[in-house]
Amino acid sequence: MKKLMLCAFVATLLRCPIAPAQSTEIPHLEKRDNRFALIVDDKPFLILGGQINNSSAWPAELPDAWSAAEAIHANTVEAPVYWEQIEPAHGSFDFGNVDLLVNQAREHHLHLVLLWFGTWKNGQNHYVPEWIKSDPKTYPREENAYGKLLDVMSASSQANLDADKAAFAALLRHVKTIDGAQHTVILVQVENESGSVGSIRDYSPAAQKAFEAEVPAELARVLKLRPGNWTQGFGPDADESFAAYSTAHYINQVVAAGKAEYPLPMYCNVWFAYPVHALENRDRPSAGQEYPSGGPQQANIAIWKAAGPAIDMLAPDFYSDDFTLFRSIVATYGRADNPLFFPESRFDATFGRYFFYALGHGAIGFSPFGIDRSTQPAVPNPQGIIASEAAQRAVNPAENFALFHGPEQQIAELNLEGRLYTAVEDRGAARQAIHLPGADAVVSFGFPQPDGAYPPGTSTLQGRALVAQLGPLDFLVTGFDVSVSFAVSAAALDKQPNQQMEILRAEEGQYVEGTWQATRILNGDQTDRGLNFRGSSPSLVRIHLHTLPLYDEAVHRGAQ
């Protein structure tokens, strides 16, 4: 724990205050060989985020939010901007809360992701201003199949779209004015978990007309559909596909209007479709009931990509303790056309290994939800947020972020270059190998690890390791509840059997302004049985290895 505090302290010292940026370049995403990084002031940046509660972006609540972010060693706070607050009357804007957010984030040396709570918030319209809510004739609602007006705005209404576009553009114009030079705001979420709760699609007259018309030609071309209407094009999936297109097409125009003012990278978060259990005798969850229909759920990604080219990322919110599901979501959303980013996750003991797993699959950032716990919802919501032990909640994100707060640039850069690997514990897999070019890293989870015994694993499956390749046999290593040792890889042994691996030097240390600084050389008990990373005592180790013949060449030749 002492080490954790030291790390955090060094990290705090090293954190640059968010003073005028070094670069005139707006934060943006960079792609290299199908890998991504968020570039902030010319450098790759790993988002160690913390999302505050929905009603916390208010002057009275913000002090708690900043201390919560500091307590978990976040480098970025994700905070909502409420349409109802910034545009209380049509065309009249109040950016007081936004200014406060930006100024206070700077005081606390934090970056910001702004969350635009506009037309959609969790598949409903709860943050649209009163002047819109009270005038459904001008700003039409979505209707269900029986004509009931829902608390969801119709995505087929030009008036709704124009109103959202105007407000979002005004917000981005303002952000550019106050932050165009400083880059405190690095990313924007457009809408929140869009789609509709209450109906599989909009049946309002305008929507119905569009549904009966031809599928838009561009969508039909990309999806290789024969010309025809939605039913002909999508068969049993017509309703949800129509909802997906309408929602993506609408949000794409909101994004484009914002980017025309200030082209920050922009993403949409996803309330994805959680699988149903076979016992429930259904093959899939119901759109509009168990998740908002038409959002960027797994099955709608192709439509969203086609209809939303201005949207940089579709980013899943993950609220389950099912690790198999997590892996499938990583595989689904980590695509060559979609940087992997988790804007929301549970704030509990599942955090560590999900975070490590995502990092090893190229994630540009990760953020637990509801870091300022004073206003945490009292009851679990349908996504299954279950209150967990207070201690668990606090410790886990903090120990992870403390480790990377400081070398976040190196970690993001190594990821962009494809040199970062992770292994996480799983049931029945307390020992695993990471196959690196030139070496195998053998990771063993849980302690004690008596000689000759299979590692015990941990009772909570929390073991995790990260290995980054800095040079041919030069690695940066860290982790929790794990030992890591290196061996010549099987592939290398096939080519040249007469070789063994040896440690030249193992250094514990830190990155100081981008440069590695060793604090001690590890040897003896600290390296003889691998590098040991126990419990909540994180450290970074840089290890240099070399190979030498296993046998004297002459003897070896004789033996062959």
- Which residues in this chain contact ligand DGJ in the complex, by CB under 6 A? 54, 122, 192-193, 269, 317, 344, 369, 377, 381, 383, 385
Identify which of residues 377 and 437 has a Cβ nearer to ligand DGJ in the complex.
377
Instruction: Work out the burial of residue 474: count CB atoms within 10 Å of its CB; fewer than 13 is exposed, 13-18 middle, 19 or more buried.
Output: middle
Closest separation between CB of residue 34 and ligand DGJ, Å? 28
Tokens standing for residue 25: 């370049």
Smallest gap from residue 100 Cβ to ligand DGJ (A): 20
Reduced to 3 states (helix: H, G, I; strand: E, B; else coil), residue 233 is helix
Contacts with 172 (C-beta within 8 Å, 6 or more apart), sequence order: 188, 258, 259, 261, 262, 264
Residue with Cβ nearer ligand DGJ (154 or 269): 269
**CA 148 – CA 138 distance, rounded (Å):** 17
- In whole angstroms, how close is the CB of 378 to ligand DGJ at the nearest point? 11
Q: Least distance in Å: CB of 385 to ligand DGJ?
A: 6
Q: Which is nearer to ligand DGJ, 143 or 344 (CB)?
A: 344
336 or 390: CB nearest ligand DGJ: 390
Residue bearing tokens 């096939």: 494
The secondary structure of 136-159, three-state, reads: CCCCCEEECCCCCEEEEECCCCHH
Nearer to ligand DGJ, 54 or 204 (CB): 54
Of 93, 97, 92, nearest in space to 55 by CA: 97
Instruction: Choose between 311 and 476: whose C-beta lies nearer to ligand DGJ.
Output: 311
Q: Where are the alpha helices (DSSP H) in 361-489?
A: 390-404, 408-416
The pair of three-digit structure tokens given for residue 445, joined into one six-digit string: 């989870």
Least distance (Å) between residue 310 CB and ligand DGJ: 21
Considering beta carbons, is residue 129 or 292 the nearer one to ligand DGJ? 292
Task: Give the chain's length.
Answer: 560
Cβ neighbours of residue 97 closer than 8 Å, sequence gap 6 or more: 57, 58, 59, 81, 82, 85, 86
Residue 63: which residues within 8 A CB-CB, separation 6 or more? none
Shortest distance (Å) from residue 439 CB to ligand DGJ:
41
For residues 189 and 489, which CB has a smaller minimum distance to ligand DGJ in the complex?
189
The answer to whether 132 and 93 have CB atoms below 8 angstroms apart is: no
CB of 80 to ligand DGJ, least distance (A): 8
Q: Which one, 384 or 450, has the nearer CB to ligand DGJ?
A: 384
Q: What are residue 544's DSSP bridge partners?
A: 474, 505
User: Which residues are CB-neighbours of 308 under 8 A, at least 6 positions away?
Assistant: 248, 249, 251, 252, 255, 268
Work out how close the CB of 377 gets to ligand DGJ at its nearest, in angstroms, rounded to a whole number: 6
Cα(388)–Cα(391) distance, rounded to whole angstroms? 8
Shortest reach from residue 375's CB to ligand DGJ, in Å: 11
CA geometry: angle 364, 369, 371, nearest 5 deg: 110
Q: Which is nearer to ligand DGJ, 109 or 126 (CB)?
A: 126
- What tokens appear for 514 in the block? 């981008």
Query: Could you identify the residue written with the tokens 């999806």?
Result: 223
What would the two tokens of residue 460 be? Answer: 């909570």
| Sheet of strand 28-32, all strands in order from the earlier edge strand to the far edge | 28-32, 35-40, 43-45
Nearer to ligand DGJ, 56 or 241 (CB): 56
Using the minimum distance from each CB to ligand DGJ, give the nearer residue, 369 or 421.
369
Q: Write out the two tokens for 333.
A: 């959303």
Q: How far is the CB of 271 from ligand DGJ (least distance, A)?
A: 6
CB of 428 to ligand DGJ, least distance (A): 32
CA dihedral of residues 143, 147, 150, 155 (deg, nearest 10): 10
Output the CA–CA distances (angstroms, integers) from residue 9 to 12, 100, 153, 188, 526, in the order listed: 5, 27, 48, 30, 24
Q: How far is the CB of 444 from ligand DGJ (least distance, A)?
A: 36
